[in-house]
Structure 1
């Protein structure tokens, strides 16, 4: 950054259902000193993801997108970025750490997704379509290296210190489908939105690309936690907390159950909704979806070790999915799990340990 010291920014990159909300609960992010965070770590780009996924857009090649749809998606990405930037500027002015959490696909370029899903024959793919405009203070150039599939140029991404959390796909993807199936029954989801939402999130490719981008930029692997260690190895989380620049004395492994299943004030339903431009009349819908996504955590009084087995047998789990989801959707989940295993095994081998 021209004339500026390196900002103090920490970005937790996750995938839905990877116990990332549990991690933030343990780290006690809202009560961390000298830290600014939007809600439970951000979700700044939730609105951008919703805009990209609505009306089945993620299942359509870009040539089928209307000009209006492209403008709306790009505009939403820019608005989300501008709100994030406002928070960053505030943190810098107060000389505090900004802590943000985002799911890896939510700030990835939808055009990159289309290219992967639909192939070159369904192009052309204008990768600049949804990239955000960053302030000149980040430098005179905006470059995008091969592993940067996001809407941010390399110059901006380098201002963030990224950490990652992963979890076994056979635990993540059925849980995500279960939650999204419930949410899709609400007015939050428009017809045709579910297939693209599943395809974009039931994968670790976006996480791996960003992880490898970090390796290329720094020459070393960024810190990465596996959910199993978060749940079963508190000393790993404590050391992670210290290295991340957070106060380990604020950590907690037990807490009070949220009364009557209501979302607590730090749940992603409140501040994130306001920051992402969710209008007041839609707040009830947003809150309902967040209750679904955080229901287990909200109903807990501490870390639930039984939720994270040491051994996961995909074949045996798939039998349960067929009973619960039916053959067709169980097949979708199982294929996503097997497809993600090489990425998971690659990332899991580089997880942070002590």
Structure 2
């Protein structure tokens, strides 16, 4: 929704295990001549979400949070916007695009996230997490019904939003496997793997943001959507996505050398800059989530079968995870399918 009077800015909205890092690798974001991004390719709101979720906070209703907890989380979101604005200013000064990839729930208002399991949240509690943006974005700061983020409508309208999706029957078991590895590495307790996975197994926040885009008066076209299956099997769709995003298709790559595998570098941030042990934890966690990509020299088409039978996948999940987890995955998959199919119908095709 960025206009001619605002910097060229894009947020790629994802959820875990949707091949978003692969898309950045194919687009070759670090070597796009007219793009500026963070060393992580975005993730400006990573620290804020981690702050919101630490110490088991999401296990209790927002109304039970202390004022200190709310203030700490609000401060983390405000820092994220400050960092984002600093990169945006640099990009604007150099007449380039600022690009950021963010998981949908990372800049979701924690009140809505908590509301998934603890019921409705008061307007006052929602306001406690909403950030303040510079007055240059307008004196009013509103939050319309489909804007569940911490960012006001007036600010979001200055960004072009794009979305990457993947069939839930592929994304959700992949996420659960990653969470199991996190448990083995000591990042999560065994009992947390299910809870963390289930709260992330949703495309409702992606769909809400997509619908929000369609409601804006200055959005004449449908936002960009790309399916992970097309990233892997349909290079023409990725090329068209690149073109419509305003990037250089000549910089794209579908193969890469061994020494070019890593798509992200986890540099010190506000949460870990002064804590080497914490930084090492973040880097190790990133290596788990990026293991498939970092072990590749190109697109692995085996990761995305062209046809998916959920019933057949459930049989596989029972053998791999056991009945209880298979049932959880099946429910999460079937619950997410309407949102996935809706978004898929609006994807870029070639």
* Shared fold per TM-score greater than 0.5: yes
Q: Secondary structure at the match of 1:102?
A: strand
Contact 1:223–1:352 (CA<8 Å) still a contact in 2? Answer: yes
Q: CA deviation at 1:220?
A: 3.3
Contact 1:8–1:92 (CA<8 Å) still a contact in 2? Answer: yes
Corresponding residue for residue 289 of structure 1:
285
Corresponding residue for residue 117 of structure 1:
117
Deviations 1:231-276 (A, max 9, x none): 11111111111111110001000012359xxx73x41x423x4366
Corresponding residue for residue 132 of structure 2:
133
Q: CA deviation at 1:74?
A: 1.4
Corresponding residue for residue 256 of structure 2:
255
Are 1:152 and 2:147 counterparts? no
Contact 1:56–1:196 (CA<8 Å) still a contact in 2? Answer: no
Q: Secondary structure at the match of 1:41?
A: coil
Q: CA deviation at 1:82?
A: 1.3
Matches within 5 A, 1:201-240: 201-217=200-216, 218-240=219-241
Corresponding residue for residue 301 of structure 1:
297
Structure 1, gaps ≥5 residues long: none
Taking structure 1 as reference, are residues 289 and 203 closer, same or farther at Cα in structure 2, changes over 3 Å only?
same
Contact 1:18–1:166 (CA<8 Å) still a contact in 2? Answer: yes
Q: CA deviation at 1:56?
A: 2.5
CA distance in 2, matches of 1:194, 1:248: 39
Structure 2, gaps ≥5 residues long: none
TM-score normalised by length of structure 2: 0.92
Contact 1:34–1:96 (CA<8 Å) still a contact in 2? Answer: yes
CA distance in 1, matches of 2:44, 2:30: 16
Contact 2:63–2:125 (CA<8 Å) still a contact in 1? Answer: no
Point out the more displaced range, 140-149 or 276-285: 276-285
CA distance in 1, matches of 2:220, 2:298: 37
Corresponding residue for residue 334 of structure 1:
330
Deviations 1:146-178 (A, max 9, x none): 000000000100110011110000100110111
Matches within 5 A, 1:26-175: 26-120=26-120, 126-175=125-174
Q: CA RMSD in A?
A: 2.1
Paired positions, count: 344
Q: Secondary structure at the match of 2:223?
A: coil
Q: Secondary structure at the match of 2:131?
A: coil
Q: Secondary structure at the match of 1:39?
A: coil
Contact 2:142–2:154 (CA<8 Å) still a contact in 1? Answer: yes
Contact 1:46–1:276 (CA<8 Å) still a contact in 2? Answer: no
1:311 to 289, 294, 307: 307
